[in-house]
Structure 1
Amino acid sequence: MTVNGIDIASYQSTDYSTSGLDFVLVKATEGSSYVNPKHAAQVATGRAHGLVVGHYHFARPGSMTAQADYFLAHCGAQAGDVLAFDWEDTGVPGADKDAWLRHVQAKAPEHRVILYCNRDFWLHRDSTSFCADGLWIADPSAPEGHPRVEHPWLFHQYSSAGGLDRNVGNFASPGALRAWAGKGPAPRYEPFPGAGWFTLGRRSPIVAAMHDRLVAAGCDHYTSTADKDVIGSGDVASYEAWQRKYNAAHHKGWTGSALKWPPGKETWDALHVPNV
């Protein structure tokens, strides 16, 4: 898994760091009378940096229909945004959880709708295993990406260190997450993940797919196929060879750093790394 994100609320900054992130889940509303005053600005930061955006509602005892409608009226969801129900209040029974999720699915069928809860709620308070389009499970005592639940999960909130909730998504790539969130087919080729994504030591199936495409393009500067899903010196040399080849073939006139690692969007798109 290579899809990383955070979830934030009003006590976090509006200009939070997005380095290394693929998604952000922002608190929008609570009950039927509270709106996060930083929600719009926090969402705007995520959008500006190309993150998949989600909005969540912190449920309180009361009418689930009223709370769901209040959430939908204030979250400002756009195409491709994820909608989430935050189930933490012990006064909200499982039946109400199901009611909120089903109401939002019916009112916003173009969006993915998911359930957030901790492991105790999922194992001891839930009785239906209903989580709409997927489960976002909080289990900070478990290793990253290994929450202690048997049910399939989409997001794992694995750490709250430093006052920031960190999450990992159970998706093969950022492109796969974006395709899922948009309720559309996965793209044929892997979207450019951003220059900052290409760090030495990163492990991802995207890296293995890139390796194979560079070899096929005649830019094989690898000394081994071992750990080909991990970015190493062979990837750097091979991709720089691809940039030189592309530069010459398309008469770009690039020099210096334009021909160096990390990859750029134009050459990445031209490499046609298949979606994984």
Structure 2
Amino acid sequence: MPDLWMPGAQRLDIGDHAPTDGGPAKAIAHITWDRSASAAKPVDLVPYTALRSYFAGGGAGVAPHILWDPFEGHFTQFVPANSRSKSLVDQAGGTRTNRAGSVVIQVEALFFPYCRVGTTVYAKLSDTPCKGWSDLQAWVHSWGVPNEWPMGQPNGYNSRRSASTWATKPGWYAHGDVPENNHTDPGYWPAFVGATPSTPTSKYEPFPGASFFKTGRRSPIIAAMHKRLVEVGCNRYQSSSNADVWGSGDERSYAAWQRHLGYSGSAADGIPGPTSWAKLHVPNV
């Protein structure tokens, strides 16, 4: 299992842990944007310790998983990776934004446009030294988040929201791309280290987490799985209707796949696990 707490990060557990809902693994990119500045009137960067104290205290109700200082490479983590955090607006009904994935790892970079550090003014986060980014990227990736932006690399302070993409595609999302949220950050973000942005790393659907497979769950991932189980000779369905909804037929068919792989007993209970899922080769949807 990947590390619940990012190696090298200060661990400052604020409690209030809660599970995610399952689904495509996601990471959300934020900036703290705690001051207003401009090219004509730059403002000194707020101390990292001030933001750390805020999220551990009065701001715990909107705390991310990770606070990142891209100037010095410091990290503080407030909740474990498998818990939701609360940096996204979550309206009643609809998607539960902070929980909509096997993980929804939220990263707040200490930055605002035209912040000043010493005598240097930084207009974009990607202009900063971005110290520690490769370590952060590697840890997030270890939780199944691919090195890609399903809605495109952030290239300005805008919003490109797509509910269908959010529901079905794993990867990194700008805060401005998340449904129900009206922010436009982070504006810009550093390029992935050793990978090309927006290029899928696999033609197969990543494992969405065991908790994703709940009775009544509707998803194109389930429809793609249904089709693959039929193709590999593990069809235990009584009907092909509602192929995108998880139900007893899926459980029976997946149990047949597990037995085909040599599993037995409780290991062939019909609930997908990461190893059997990887071998099924469910195509990306």
Q: TM-score, normalised by structure 1?
A: 0.51
SS in 1 for 2:178: strand
Spell out, residue by residue over 1:192-247, the C-alpha distance to the aligned partner (whole angstroms, 9 max, x if none). 11211111111111111100010011111112211111111110111011111111
Does 2:209 align with 1:156? no
Aligned partner of 2:281 in structure 1 is: 272
**2 CA distance for matches of 1:78 and 1:209?**
33
Q: After TM superposition, what 4+ stretches of structure 1 lie above 2 angstroms from structure 2?
A: 12-18, 21-31, 40-81, 110-115, 134-137, 153-157, 180-186
Spell out, residue by residue over 1:147-201, the C-alpha distance to the aligned partner (whole angstroms, 9 max, x if none). xxxxxx97234279xxxx9xxxxxxxxxxxxxx9953325111111121111111
The 1:69/1:238 distance shift into structure 2, 3 A limit, reads closer
**1 CA distance for matches of 2:224 and 2:108?**
32
Aligned partner of 2:26 in structure 1 is: 23
Aligned match of 1:206 in 221, 227, 231?
A: 221
1:13-92 alignment runs, 5 A limit: 13=14, 16-20=17-21, 22-25=25-28, 29=32, 30-31=34-35, 32-35=45-48, 36-37=51-52, 39=67, 40-42=75-77, 45-46=80-81, 51=104, 53-56=106-109, 59=112, 65-66=121-122, 68=124, 72-73=128-129, 76-78=132-134, 81=137
The 1:70/1:24 distance shift into structure 2, 3 A limit, reads closer
Question: Aligned AA for 2:134?
Answer: Q
Structure holding more helix per residue: 1
**2 CA distance for matches of 1:269 and 1:263?**
10
Question: Aligned AA for 1:42?
Answer: Q
Aligned-residue Cα RMSD (Å) equals: 4.4
Q: Is the CA contact (8 Å cut-off) linking 1:239 and 1:261 kept in structure 2?
A: yes
The 1:190/1:25 distance shift into structure 2, 3 A limit, reads closer
The 1:212/1:56 distance shift into structure 2, 3 A limit, reads same
Q: Structure 1: state its 5+ residue gaps.
A: 1-11, 82-109, 116-129, 138-143, 147-152, 166-179
**1 CA distance for matches of 2:203 and 2:125?**
36
Aligned match of 1:135 in 141, 152, 159?
A: 159
Question: Aligned AA for 1:156?
Answer: V
The 1:219/1:195 distance shift into structure 2, 3 A limit, reads same
Cα deviation for residue 114 of structure 1 reads: 2.8
Question: Aligned AA for 1:59?
Answer: F
Question: Aligned AA for 1:203?
Answer: R
SS in 2 for 1:239: helix
Question: Aligned AA for 2:218?
Answer: R
1:188-227 alignment runs, 5 A limit: 188-227=203-242
Q: Is the CA contact (8 Å cut-off) linking 2:225 and 2:282 kept in structure 1?
A: yes
SS in 2 for 1:20: coil
Question: Aligned AA for 1:263?
Answer: P
SS in 1 for 2:180: strand
Structure holding more strand per residue: 1
Spell out, residue by residue over 1:20-53, the C-alpha distance to the aligned partner (whole angstroms, 9 max, x if none). 2633436554341243315234377338985555
Q: Structure 2: state its 5+ residue gaps.
A: 1-12, 36-44, 56-66, 68-74, 84-101, 138-147, 166-174, 184-194
Quick one: higher RCO (CA 8 Å, sep 6+), 1 or 2?
Answer: 2
Q: Identical aligned pairs, as a percentage?
A: 30
Spell out, residue by residue over 1:46-89, the C-alpha distance to the aligned partner (whole angstroms, 9 max, x if none). 389855554455637766943646994577433785xxxxxxxx
Q: TM-score, normalised by structure 2?
A: 0.50
Q: Is the CA contact (8 Å cut-off) linking 1:26 and 1:43 kept in structure 2?
A: no
